[in-house]
Amino acid sequence: MRHILICAAVLLSALAQAAPPPDHYRVGTAGELARVCGTQPSDPDAATAIAFCHGVLAGAYGYFVASTPAENRFICPPNPGPTRTQVANGFVAWVKARPNLVNDGAIDALFRYAADAYPCKR
């Protein structure tokens, strides 16, 4: 029993030390989302940051597809679609080219980027 308690204490201590600061992944603005999505692979937190970015991208697009009838969609990625990394990199470059948008809402800007990058051709 003592062995289990020691292992649990070590695990909880490691998790507490590995947790990012509470605001580390705050992505309320386009600039904040671009910062997280643009995390360099050499950054010690890169795996977590990129996974978080990809989760935001997939969640936003998944909600869009689930809540928007196909005939009303304004984003139409090609088939096969781009990878999440391609979308993330494209979004980061798009925001960097539009510094006037860094304070816009993250998801609003993400959808404006996607509409520019993957417009529907009807």
Residue 5: per-residue pLDDT: 40
SS3 readout for 9-39: HHHHHHHHHHCCCCCCCCCCEHHHHHHHHCC
Residue 19: per-residue pLDDT: 55
Task: Tell me if the bond preceding 78 is cis, omega within 30° of 0.
Answer: no
Residue 17: per-residue pLDDT: 55
Residue 121: per-residue pLDDT: 84
Per-residue pLDDT in tens (0 to 9) along the chain, 122 residues? 444 444 444 444 544 555 554 466 778 999 999 999 999 999 988 999 999 999 999 999 999 999 999 999 999 999 999 999 999 999 999 999 999 999 999 999 999 999 999 999 86
The CB-based long-range contact list for 58-63 (8 Å cut-off, 24+ gap) reads: 58/84, 60/107, 60/110, 60/111, 61/114
Residue 9: per-residue pLDDT: 43
Q: Which two three-digit tokens encode residue 74?
A: 């304004």
Question: In degrees rounded to 5, what are phi and psi of residue 105?
Answer: -60, 140
Residue 7: per-residue pLDDT: 41
Residues in the chain: 122
Residue 8: per-residue pLDDT: 42
Residue 1: per-residue pLDDT: 47
83/66 Cα distance (integer angstroms): 19
3-state secondary structure of 104: coil
